[in-house]
Amino acid sequence: MVLSADGSKAAFVSTANGYRTNIWVMDLKTGSSWNLTNTTVTACDPTKMNGYFRPPWSPDGEWVAFSSDRGTDWLGHDFRVGWEHSQELSIYVIRPNGKRTFFYETTRRETWEARETAEVEEAADG
């Protein structure tokens, strides 16, 4: 759970209401909450990947950002077994009322390369 800058709202990930990860926002004063990502605007083919993750707030509390594999095909390694896979991911920025959304798509190759570790040569002792 991540609090907005003014502490009035919280953004969080939940699998409530459909067994898929979604971003929810809660008004901490009223206790009301709403699903920010499972809407008619964001719906996609239910047979494809459709998870939403890691929701930080913008410093001014006007936007929530998150990553998603929404609408992508499963591209796991080892013939669909094993935990490691590289998916296409997108970064979304959305207003808490769901009215404006921006996104940046990251290709599968860019996602994989972001996870690679570069080899670093150790400095030789004096």
Beta carbons within 8 Å of 53's beta carbon, 6+ residues apart = 13, 21, 66, 67, 68
pTM over cut 0.75: no
Q: Report the pLDDT value the prediction gives residue 108, as an integer from 0 to 100.
A: 66
User: What strand order describes the sheet that includes 89-94?
Assistant: 52-53, 64-68, 89-94, 101-106
State mean pLDDT over 50-57. Answer: 89
Domain count, the chain: 1
Q: Is residue 126 a part of any domain in this protein?
A: no
pLDDT digits (tens, 9 = 90+) for 75-126: 665 555 545 555 677 888 888 888 777 767 777 666 666 655 555 444 444 4
Question: What would the two tokens of residue 45 be?
Answer: 């083919």
Query: Whole-angstrom Cα distance, residue 11 to residue 34?
Result: 10
Judge contact between 63 and 93, C-beta under 8 A.
yes
Domain containing 90 equals 2-115
- Residue 72: which CATH number? 2.120.10.30
pLDDT in tens, 17-45: 777 889 999 999 999 999 988 887 777 88
